[in-house]
Amino acid sequence: MRAFSRSMAKDDSSDGLRRVTVSMGEDTFQALDRLVNERGFDSRSQAISEMIHQQSAEHLGKIGTEVMAGTLTLIYDESKSSLLRDLSRVCRSHLSEVISSQHILLEDDHVLEVLLMQGPARTLRGIANELVTCKGVKSAHLTLTPHLLPPLHAARNVR
């Protein structure tokens, strides 16, 4: 693997954008164009930038020390006797990370619940692991982003 030198990355753009050249096979290029069209991106550059941003967030989330915001989407069977108590216990033990939740009732006693969380990625992954192992949880999907929520209760100067 060849080291990437800083001089290769230089771009004198005054608008804050950097230009790179990407080579890819014809199949990948066609797939990119389909993605741009189907998702409604303005350009290939916008699509590629979004993909890099997403992969970067996923990578940072795996490292674990980065403070991130994210959502945890759960599907569970609420008819399991102690499940709701177990889910609440986990969320209450992480009040500083679990900011809010919304649940939607599905068919056959199933619930889709989305938790909004913020904190160190390692902690958020730990919360997701605690919740997915509760008996009755069918699936859990954690999505993280390095963009943070603004402080909920900003300090104010009171006179």
CATH code assigned to 67-145: 3.30.70.1150
Distance of alpha carbon 89 from alpha carbon 47, whole angstroms: 40
Residues 68-100: b if buried by 16+ CB within 10 A, e if exposed:
bbbbbebebeeeeeebbebbeebbeebeebbee
Show pLDDT as tens, one digit a residue, over the chain (159 residues): 444 444 444 545 567 888 889 899 999 999 999 989 999 999 999 888 888 877 777 776 666 678 999 999 999 999 998 999 999 999 999 999 999 999 999 999 999 999 999 999 999 999 999 999 999 999 999 999 888 888 766 666 555
Q: Global pTM?
A: 0.67
